[in-house]
Amino acid sequence: MKWSRRNWGRVCALGVAAVAMPALRAQTAPVAPAAPRPGATRLAIAVDNRTSFCYLPLTIAERLGYFAQEGLDVEVREFPDSAQSLHAVQTGAAHVLSGPYASTIAQQARGQSLQSFVLQGRAPQVVVGVSLETMGHFRGVADLRGRRVGVMATSAASHRVASLVLGKVGLRATDVQYVPLANSAAAVQAFRRGELDAISYTDPTVTHLEQMGALKVVADTRSTRGTAEVFGGPMPSGCLCVPGSFLTQYPRASQALADAMVHALKWLQTAGLSDIIKAVPERHFQGDRALYLAAFTRVREAWTVDGLMPDTGPVTAARMLAQFEEPGSLQRVDLAQTYTNDFARKAKVRFRA
């Protein structure tokens, strides 16, 4: 191995993780979610892929008992994909959706009301990188013409981010071969075997490939700066959203949900690695705590600090969606009706977030 500064840094980082892990395992047992009080308001929240870092604030609010503290008995229901979780809310099988803010815009364009009232993420957490094995002479994104690009699913956030990055240098969807790989383990194996020339994926998969020295990052939306470079501004991602009538019919429950989520977001700002191990369910680690914790440190800037929608966030999201929806379909969308900061603002004051 050539002992470059990058290799030394990777070896040192892995060594620190190896030393730290026994101590972390020795911490107290994982937190057990607090039981809701008798008479608590029962609500169901629909989500897909709840182990995703994008929805970690939801998991924290549940695991640390913040929903129960606000007088709520919340059941988080996981669905196989975003379409099914959205359908659950539309049909009344769930009251609240934990999903991407962009879905509120897309649904209004289709004549259906869906409104975000507390924002979990201010960055999509998707990274585009190229293979150091098959793209050893990589000079720029234009070199991906005719190459294979792994994505989590077609039309998903990872596919959209890849399309935007490629589009900046004039590459169209037909100029590359998109390879859907929903399973992260399969994505890593395909990358290692040289079956992919580039990948657009989320953590902890990206951090895994970085630690292996197999990936060169070309676009990184785990940070606010990288997000602005890709989208031209802040890109609101995960949020809690509901049909518009819910907020007016159930203002107390809506405020309680926002309070619990902002409480969780504030906790995440100062949470240490041992705190994460105690709060997060074991299955989220996918058998590798050290990797999960390494990825956690890379994505923590992506969460909002107070649940508020940034002023220019909706415009950025609409501009992104316009590149993938039918021409003119978003013209009738009133962005002011796709979100409200009223509940998160009150929670921000209460928790000094």
pLDDT tens-digit map of 277-335: 999 999 999 999 999 999 999 999 999 999 999 999 999 999 999 999 888 889 889 99
All CATH 3.40.190.10 domain ranges of the chain, comma separated, are 41-123+235-351, 127-220
Span 15-28, average pLDDT: 41
Per-residue model confidence (pLDDT) at position 20? 42
CATH number (3.50.50.60, 3.40.190.10, 1.10.1740.10, 3.40.109.10) of 41-123+235-351 reads 3.40.190.10
pLDDT digits (tens, 9 = 90+) for 87-99: 999 999 999 999 9
Residue 345 clears pLDDT 70, i.e. is over it:
yes
Which architecture characterizes domain 127-220 according to CATH? 3-Layer(aba) Sandwich (3.40)
Q: What is the pLDDT of residue 32?
A: 63
At 176 the three-state DSSP class reads coil
Can you tell me the distance from the alpha carbon of 164 to that of 151, in angstroms, rounded to the nearest whole number?
13
Phi, psi of 79 (to 5 degrees): -120, 160
Q: How confident is the model at residue 51 (pLDDT cuts 50, 70, 90)?
A: very high
Q: Is the dihedral of CA 286, 287, 288, 293 positive or negative?
A: positive
The sign one gets for the Cα dihedral 323, 315, 312, 264 is: negative
Q: Which contiguous run of DSSP H or E holds residue 241?
A: strand 238-242
Dist. CA 320–CA 345, nearest whole Å: 26
Binned at pLDDT 50, 70 and 90, residue 7 comes out as very low
Mean pLDDT, range 146-161, rounded to an integer: 95
Residue with the two structure tokens 């695991």: 63
Q: Is 75 helix (H, G, I), strand (E, B) or coil?
A: strand
Label residue 4 by pLDDT band (50, 70, 90): very low
Q: Does residue 353 have a pLDDT over 80?
A: yes
User: Residue 22, preceding bond cis, omega within 30 degrees?
Assistant: no
pLDDT at 141: 98
Under the banding of pLDDT at 50, 70 and 90, the label for residue 344 is: very high
Phi, psi of 85 (to 5 degrees): -70, -40
Q: What mean pLDDT value characterizes the chain?
A: 91
